[in-house]
Structure 1
Amino acid sequence: MSELKQAITEAMKNAMRAKEKARLGTIRMILAELKRVEVDERIELDDARILAILDKMNKQRRDSIEQYESAGREDLAAIEREEMEVIATFLPAALSDDEINALVDDAIAKSGASGMQDMGKVMGLLKPQLQGRADMGAVSKTVKARLG
């Protein structure tokens, strides 16, 4: 079992002992999603893939919050924010804008990108480095701005 999955399982046990219902529910949801992917794809997840799944779950929460706020449902948005906080505890520390810009510049230089047609190459280099540490949508906009 990967280190990250063990950490999530241990966090579930701690939440059970502390009787933290909201946190426990979110952690169980994470473990259920990991198990679903393992069963569907018949693989054992590694830390990189778990980070990708957690990042995707966080993105889903961001989108939900946006929709709930536009519909005036602050109560539901608050629940999503709490889930995001729990998910974020298992993600690596976020990178600063300066660090992201430096990685984007480096990836453009390494790939020899000269225009928008090379965006896939640049994003391919960036994704493994930034997974779970930055909003890939924002990174994509930065790359477009640099290449465009």
Structure 2
Amino acid sequence: MNQLGGANSYGQLGLGHKEDVLLPQRLNDFCKPECVRSITGGGGHSAIVTDGGGLFVCGLNKDGQLGLGHTEDVLYFTLCKSLHGCPIQQVACGWDFTIILTENGQVLSCGSNSFGQLGVPHGPQRCVVPQAIELLKEKVVCIAAGLRHALGAT
């Protein structure tokens, strides 16, 4: 059963509102619990990877960290359509950015790049659609994100 609770200032729990939740609430009409591969949270956003490789995101999006092509906050878990046909293996959320690992070992990133955390050192200050990190030449097998940094293991 998918149950979420806690701070919800930006809708990061995917419940359709921005009120904090003191007791876990069931996440309805999203997907079957057995279809969830992983769940991760960032500074004010959340991401779920399904067994089918889909990426669903919600919450704070002021820097485009949800990868949806805009900067509006999202109150419900929403499919990241820009990744259609590109199965996702893992996702890692930092404070205001997201790192995405595809099943073929490619790494993409979106959100704030104020500290170079998107792996694009001389790139734009933010990216609202996931972009490939071209500096990585080897297949990546695992990713992680901290407050304002990202890691990838080959």
- The structure whose residues are more often strand, as a share, is 2
Give the greater-gyration-radius structure (CA). 1
TM-score normalized with structure 2 length: 0.27
What TM-score does the superposition give when structure 1 sets the normalisation length? 0.28
Q: Relative contact order (alpha carbons < 8 A, sep ≥ 6): 1 or 2 greater?
A: 1
